[in-house]
Amino acid sequence: MWEMLKVYNTLSRSKEEFQPLNENEVRMYVCGPTVYDYPHIGNARSFAAFDTIRRYLEFRGFHVFYVTNFTDIDDKMITRANEQGIEVQELAEKFIAEYLQIADELNLKPASVNPRATEHMDDIIDMVQSIMDRGVGYAANGDVYFDISEWENYGVLSKIDPDELAAGARVETGEKKEDPRDFVLWKEKKPGEPSWDSPWGKGRPGWHAECSVMGSYYLGVPFDIHGGGQDLIFPHHENEIAQSAAAYGVETPVKYWLHNGFLTINEDKMSKSEGNFFTAREVLDNYDNQGVRFFLVSGHYRQPLDYNNQALKQATQSVERIRNAVDAIRGRISILTKKKVQPTEADDNIAEAIELLKTEFEKEMDDDFNTPGAIAAVFSFIRTLNANLEETGKAAVLREALAVLSTRLEILGIDISRKELTGSSELRSIVEKSIELLLEIREKAREEKDYETGDMIRNRLTEMGVSITDTKDGPTWKIEA
Ligand code: AMP
Ligand code: ZN
């Protein structure tokens, strides 16, 4: 029976039992990229963290409706498009395509929907109007602002005291706010900027308004989970709560707020503005994709994770150890299907380790998605497996081991599917049988002490990309990636 799943809710600053609003369904929104540039590997950490959370919820039996947006209109988009002398939309298309490519290489499951802010202008205008109708928004010469002095609950998420906020704040030149703490819902068009018609004149939405609208449009209010990096707690998510609560007349628009920690370099947050970043593209080009994904989930999602070559190399080696173990299981299964071997204590040891992997992995993930603990359970399983594999006699136990292990790796987003032969099934069967035949000839040669022929077969197969491993019950082979 399932134990309780606990998630850390930024709203209560504590781990809470996870109970979605509708029994088997989880409605989840994660702040997506602003598509003005290549995402850096810090952004990728956020995407991978929430992808893992989503995968675990699905494993837990929930039907997850997963929305992650593209911010395709904001100040950064406009500035960059102007610098490059292109339309904002062209810039957006380019980096949306780039994001989707990276998402694929990082094994992010496609979202249920990837809405774009510019597709929701009417909905955004409606929300801003509702806020004004509630008396918590005001228009000021083409801009519209949220009136914080009219909103009692401001600070629920970030625990910021609005009175203290007032002390340090001042109205910047060009802003038309009545109170420096107020935030913009709609911005008047400036010369040369893209704009949309609204009751307040031509303009465009504020960033916070975009996410409130896209979340509620696809998921309704309230919904279950809202995610993003810790830098978004204030002001982005605080403002989203105020807007959605005011516009849609609910007390709490989102039940659980989850925030990932930063990817750091020398303990500083990786960020575009600081210039201390590596793009996800260059990292994926320099390291094995599965290794990059492993690195991103190797720390707990709320803790900082430091980026350095050593960590990436270690992650790649860890994936290699996993692949080797998986290949060894497959090789042993193929031996056991050809040759009768008596069941032994080794089979019981592995059967026991399978049960332990199941319970430990779930126990760790139930504890606020503790991926480092879950990974430790995977490696403890692999150690037992490696120690027992050569003595095993039951293919069925090994098939189960493979299934249970790969399901857990999938939750972490690690893909260990084997490089397979391609072509028609007849062709594949002939190739497989020919390799088997060569191995038989090699065995025969070795029995006759004709090591020269034996080595020749092995070397030539290796050159073709077929690697051979000798075990005490015979050789196994695989196609190298
Ligand atoms: P942006 O494209 O800047 O809107 O960011 C997309 C997502 O990446 C947001 O959820 C950010 O909070 C998150 N993010 C940005 N920098 C980092 C970082 N260094 N580490 C982890 N997450 C980050
Ligand atoms: Zn957002």
**HEC readout, 396-451:** HHHHHHHHHHHHHHHHHCCCCCCCCCCCCHHHHHHHHHHHHHHHHHHHHHHHCCCH
Q: List the strands of the sheet with 183-188, edge to edge.
A: 137-140, 143-146, 183-188, 203-205
- Residue 8: predicted pLDDT: 98
- Residue 105: predicted pLDDT: 97
Q: How far is the CA of 48 from the centre of ligand 1 (A)?
A: 11
Q: How far is the CA of 260 from the centre of ligand 1 (A)?
A: 9
Q: What's the whole-model pTM score?
A: 0.94
User: Ligand 1, from 10, 41, 43, 263: best to mutate by most atoms within 8 Å of Cβ?
Assistant: 43
Q: Where in the chain is the domain with CATH 3.40.50.620?
A: 6-307
Ligand 1: atom nearest CA of 229 is: 12
- Residue 2: predicted pLDDT: 61
How far apart CA 398 and CA 46 sit, in angstroms, is: 35
Q: How far is the CA of 339 from the centre of ligand 1 (A)?
A: 54
Report strand pairing: 268-269 vs 263-265.
antiparallel
Question: How many other β-carbons are positioned within 10 Å of the β-carbon of residue 377?
Answer: 21
Give Dmax (Cα) for the chain: 95
How far apart CA 281 and CA 287 sit, in angstroms, is: 10
**What CATH architecture does domain 318-417 belong to?**
Up-down Bundle (1.20)
How far apart CA 210 and CA 57 sit, in angstroms, is: 26
> Long-range contacts of range 309-317, CB-CB < 8 Å, 24 or more positions apart?
312/283, 312/286, 312/287, 313/287, 315/287, 315/291, 316/287, 316/288, 316/290, 316/291, 317/291
CATH 3.40.50.300 assigned to 6-307: no
Ligand 1: atom nearest CA of 46 is: 22
How far apart CA 462 and CA 480 sit, in angstroms, is: 9
**What CA–CA distances, in Å, run from 374 to 227, 288, 357, 388?**
21, 21, 9, 22
Q: How far is the CA of 79 from the centre of ligand 2 (A)?
A: 20
In tens digits, the chain (481 residues) has pLDDT values of 467 999 999 999 999 999 999 999 999 999 999 999 999 999 999 999 999 999 999 999 999 999 999 999 999 999 999 999 999 999 999 999 999 999 999 999 999 999 999 999 999 999 999 999 999 999 999 999 999 999 999 999 999 999 888 777 777 777 789 999 999 999 999 998 999 999 999 999 999 999 999 999 999 999 999 999 999 999 999 999 999 999 999 999 999 999 999 999 999 999 999 999 999 999 999 999 999 999 999 999 999 999 999 999 999 999 999 999 999 999 999 999 988 999 999 999 999 999 999 999 999 999 999 999 999 999 999 999 999 999 999 999 999 999 999 999 999 999 988 777 888 999 998 999 999 999 999 999 999 999 999 999 999 999 999 999 999 999 999 988 6
Q: Where in the chain is the domain with CATH 1.20.120?
A: 318-417
Please return the burial class of 330, using the count of CB atoms within 10 Å of its CB with bins 0-12, 13-18 and 19+.
Answer: middle
Instruction: Give the contacts of 473 (CB within 8 A, at least 6 positions apart).
Output: 335, 339, 341, 390
- DSSP annotation of 29: E
How far apart CA 85 and CA 373 sit, in angstroms, is: 49
User: Contact at 8 Å (CB) between 88 and 73?
Assistant: yes
Q: Which residues line ligand 1 at a C-beta cut-off of 6 Å? A: 31, 33-34, 42-43, 45-46, 228-229, 231-232, 260, 262-263, 269-271
- Residue 3: predicted pLDDT: 78
How far apart CA 92 and CA 322 sit, in angstroms, is: 38
Q: Whose alpha carbon is nearest atom 6 of ligand 1?
A: 33
Query: Which residue in 480, 398, 368, 445 sits closest to 52, CA to CA?
Result: 368
**What CA–CA distances, in Å, run from 354 to 133, 348, 394, 404?**
59, 10, 14, 7
- Residue 327: predicted pLDDT: 93
